[in-house]
Amino acid sequence: MRGYRWLIFAGILVLSGSAWADEKCKSAPLFKGVPTGAAAFDSREEAPAGEVKILNFGDELIVSGGEGGFKAVTLWAEDKCGLWLQESRGGSYLEKKVELHAPTYRFVKSRKDGSYEVEALGQRFQIKAIFPGRFEVTLLTAIGSYEGE
C-alpha cells in the first residue's frame, strides 16, 4: 500500500510540474535584443530554397503585404519554451480606416539538434542560434515570383 502512495504522489508532482510549464509558456518573455535592420524574406520577392540570412531578435523573419493588408513575423525571444515569434498585421491602406491589430506571440519548440523549424506566412525556415540572440535562418521552401493580388 505504501508503494502506491509514493506512486500517486510522484504522479501529482509530474502533473503539477507540467501544468506550471504550460502556464509559463502562455505569454512571451520580455524582448531583449538588438535588431540588425537586415531585410526580411519577402513573400513578394523570389528567393530560392536554401537562401541564408543572419538575423537577430527584433528582425523581421518574413513580411507580406499589398493591397489586401500587411503581415510580418518577427524573431522575438528564446527561453525554455522555445523560440518566440511575434506576428503582426494591419489592414489595407486602400480602406478609409486602416485597421491595425495588436501583435500575437507563439513559440516553436527546438528539435533534438537545438535548431527550430518554423512555418510562417506560408514559408518554412530552419533557424539555428549562432550566438545569443543571433540566428542563421535558412529558407526551406522557395518563394516564387509575385503575380499580384
- pLDDT at site 13: 43
Is there a domain that residue 127 lies in? yes
Report pLDDT for 6: 52
In a domain, 144, yes or no: no
Q: Confirm whether 18 is domain-assigned.
A: yes
Report which secondary-structure segment, H or E, holds 65: strand 60-66
Q: Which domain holds residue 106?
A: 2-139
Query: Exposed/middle/buried for 121, CB within 10 Å: 0-12, 13-18, 19+?
Result: middle
DSSP, collapsed to helix, strand or coil, labels residue 126 as strand
Looking at the domain assignment, is residue 11 inside a domain? yes
pTM for the whole structure = 0.79
Domain count, the chain: 1
Render the burial of 43-76: b for 16+ CB within 10 Å, e for the rest: beeebeeeeebebbbbbbbbbbbeeebbbbbbbb
Please report the pLDDT score of residue 29 as a whole number.
Answer: 95
Q: Among 5-9, 39-43, 59-63, 102-106, which stretch is predicted with the lowest mean pLDDT?
A: 5-9
Average pLDDT (96-101) is: 78
Q: Has residue 145 been placed in a domain?
A: no
Q: Distance between the two ends of the chain, CA-based, in angstroms?
A: 69
Task: Decide if 146 is inside a domain.
Answer: no
